[in-house]
Amino acid sequence: MAATFRNSYADRSYNCRCCGQAAVFTALEQKHAFEVNKTHIHKQRFLCEPCWRAEHAVQEKLAAMAARWAQNQRELRGDLDFLGGWRALLSEHERYGARPDQARQAMLDKLIQALGAPGQA
């Protein structure tokens, strides 16, 4: 039975893990995801379309911040706007069901605290 799975996509309904909205991962979208974008076949969709897009945008921002950090850590250590923004973005990412990046969150909390920011958690 499993032998034909690649050619037999079926609409799959689910509830968005973020907003709870009922959504459908259509057969056509699955075909596109798995055959055009080469998404891993076991990758399920957990978010509705708007949440997925929003999550994707957050992910891109996080990647950009991590890249900035990697290049300019010494200076950014003292940049409360950057640190606070990054920390808030990590929390936002979790709302979409992303696994929390606890090590990074702890690091940021510590840096923010060291800069004496009130009430950032």
Q: Which is nearer to Zn ion, 51 or 90 (CB)?
A: 51
Is residue 18 at the binding interface for Zn ion, with CB under 5 A as the rule? yes
Instruction: Please identify, using beta-carbon distances, which residue of 16 and 112 lies nearer to Zn ion.
Output: 16
Residue 98 is a binding residue for Zn ion (CB under 5 A): no
Is the CB of 1 or the CB of 22 nearer to Zn ion? 22
Residue 90: how many CB atoms within 10 A of its CB? Answer: 19
Q: Could you say whether residue 48 binds Zn ion (CB under 5 A)? A: yes
Q: Is 16 in the site for Zn ion (CB under 5 A)?
A: yes
19 lies in the site for Zn ion, by CB under 5 A:
yes
With b for 16 or more beta-carbon neighbours within 10 A and e for fewer, the 56-89 pattern comes to eebeeebeebeeebeeeeeebeeeeebbbebbeb
Nearest-angstrom CA–CA distance, 61 and 67: 10
How far apart, in whole angstroms, are the C-alpha atoms of residue 23 and residue 110? 39
Q: Is 58 in the site for Zn ion (CB under 5 A)?
A: no
Asked if 108 and 86 touch (Cβ cutoff 8 Å), the reply is yes
State which residue, 48 or 90, has the beta carbon closest to Zn ion. Answer: 48
Residues forming contacts to Zn ion in the complex (CB under 5 A) are 16, 18-19, 21, 48, 51
